[in-house]
Homo-oligomer: A and B are copies of this chain.
Amino acid sequence: MVKLTEGRGKELFRKYGVPVPPGRLTRSAGEAERLTREQEVPLPCVIKAQVLAGGRGKGGAVRFAATPEEAKEAAAAILGQQFQGETVREVLLERRVAIERELYVSFALDRSLRLPILIASRQGGVEIESVADAAIDRQAVEPLPGLVAYERRRAAGTLGLAGPLAADLDRLLQGLYRLFQEEDAELVEINPLAVVDGHLLALDAKVIIEDDAAFRHPEYAELRDDRTPLEEIAREKEIAFVQLDGNIGVIANGAGLTMATLDVLSRFGGRPGVFLDLGGTDDPNKVTEAFLLMSRARPSVVFLNIFGGVTRCDTVARGLVEALKRVPERERFPLVARIRGNNEAEGRAILQSAGVTSLSDLHDSAQAVVEAEKTAAAAGARTA
Contact = CB atoms under 8 A, between A and B. Distances in A.
Contacts of A143: 144
Nearest to A143: B144
A143 B144 CA distance: 8
A144 B143 CA distance: 8
A231 B310 CA distance: 71
Interface string A132-170: 000000000001100000000000000000000000000
Nearest to A144: B144
A164 to B, nearest CB: 22
A130 B143 CA distance: 40
A202 to B, nearest CB: 26
Contacts of A144: 143-144
A144 B144 CA distance: 6
A143 B143 CA distance: 10
A33 to B, nearest CB: 43
A194 to B, nearest CB: 31
A115 to B, nearest CB: 13
A143 B142 CA distance: 13
A376 B144 CA distance: 59
Interface in A88-143: 143
The 2 closest A-B CB pairs, nearest first, are A144-B144, A143-B144
2 contacts: A143-B144, A144-B144
